[in-house]
Structure 1
Amino acid sequence: MELKAMPVTLTSCDKGRVKEIYMQAFAKEDRMPYWLMLIMAKMKNTDFLSFYDGNTLCGFVYMATSENLTFVMFFAVEEALRSKGYGGNILEKVLERYPKNKIVITIERCDENANNFQQRLKRKEFYLRNGYFETGYLVELGNQKQEIIIKNGAFDPKEFIRFFKKYSNGMIKPKVWSTDGFWGNA
């Protein structure tokens, strides 16, 4: 399969379908406004890409880059196409786009008491199979506590906090700590 990446913009013909995938894949409390994603995608350090297998929309990724760190904020595959290799292929396209960058993703913690524990575990296993590693760090963005995973380098919490300061002009101040204890915040 050879996926083709296309930017998602205000004028994209499939922007509505990408939005549907986004709304299905992420809980309301985990989403940012879709219109804001479309506007922020105009920034030079933000990529909002849809992926196609021929004419079939397979999924999307929304990510930002600062220096040598790329943070994948949102990534989803069309539900009917999951477990067919598209997710791994999209992650490879991200790495091809930024081959020298550390690729950071945050995921829900695998809390055994969570009502969707199996789904969380399956998601984490997917990333680990695709070359991502546990960092031993957690982040709190908004009120969501998530685990940080990485590919293509070692995680540096100071670098991650600098990324947010730069990307958000100081508006987003994540708390980052190791699973062994508190580390710091922005």
Structure 2
Amino acid sequence: MFMSMRKRLKIHAIYDQDTFVGMTIYFVSDKTVYLAYLAIDPNLRGHGYGSKILQLLEHKYQDKQIVLDIEPLNPDADNYRQRVSRLKFYQKNGWRRTHQMLKDQDGQFEALVDNAYFDKKDFARTLNQMSWGFYQFKIEK
């Protein structure tokens, strides 16, 4: 099982020439790509790198839904403005809210998807595959 996991889990450091831009971590299943982590160097944000990375993923995995999660827009959160900014960035890049909440021991997160249809069951299956069944989560509306 570990070998098949290794082929499905992708960790990429992103460079522009010799300049480190950021990194991605994502898991690829049969029908879903779960983008678990996308980070751009704070000094390089606003230069189009994040958008380009999303475009490259969408092109590479045209036949799959790509799902990521963000913190909910809780006005009482200390980083509320950052949460709103993050959502606007994804929406500007064509992603849409599913209003499906992923709950785990670390809190609650909303799933976003890159296309018009969100296959909640396959996303749940992908999370199970990624975590070998040890990750406890619940997806609910």
**Alpha-carbon displacement from aligned partner over 1:137-185 (angstroms, at most 9, x marks no partner):** 010132220011000341122211111222222111311111xxxxxxx
Structure 1 vs Structure 2 CA RMSD: 1.7
1:102 to 50, 65, 70: 65
2:46 to 83, 87, 92: 83
Partner of 1:19: none
* Alpha-carbon shift at residue 87 of structure 1 (Å): 0.7
Contact map agreement 2:69 2:109 (CA 8 A) in 1: yes
Aligned residues: 139
Aligned residue identity for 2:59: E
**Alpha-carbon displacement from aligned partner over 1:68-88 (angstroms, at most 9, x marks no partner):** 100011110011000111110
Work out the percentage of aligned pairs sharing the same amino acid: 29
Contact map agreement 2:10 2:27 (CA 8 A) in 1: yes
Contact map agreement 1:102 1:153 (CA 8 A) in 2: no
Segments of structure 2 that go 5 or more residues without pairing to the other structure are none
Partner of 2:37: 74
Work out which of the two has the higher radius of gyration on C-alpha atoms and give 1 or 2: 1
Of structures 1 and 2, the one scoring higher in RCO (CA 8 A, sep 6+) is 2
Aligned residue identity for 1:85: G
**Alpha-carbon displacement from aligned partner over 1:37-87 (angstroms, at most 9, x marks no partner):** xx99x7000110111111111111000011010001111001100011111
TM-score (norm 1): 0.70
State how 1:20-59 maps to structure 2 within 5 Å: 43-59=6-22
For 2:68 and 2:118, locate their aligned partners in 1 and report how far apart those are by CA, in whole Å: 11
Contact map agreement 2:96 2:115 (CA 8 A) in 1: no
Structure 1 segments, 4+ long, off by >3 Å, are none
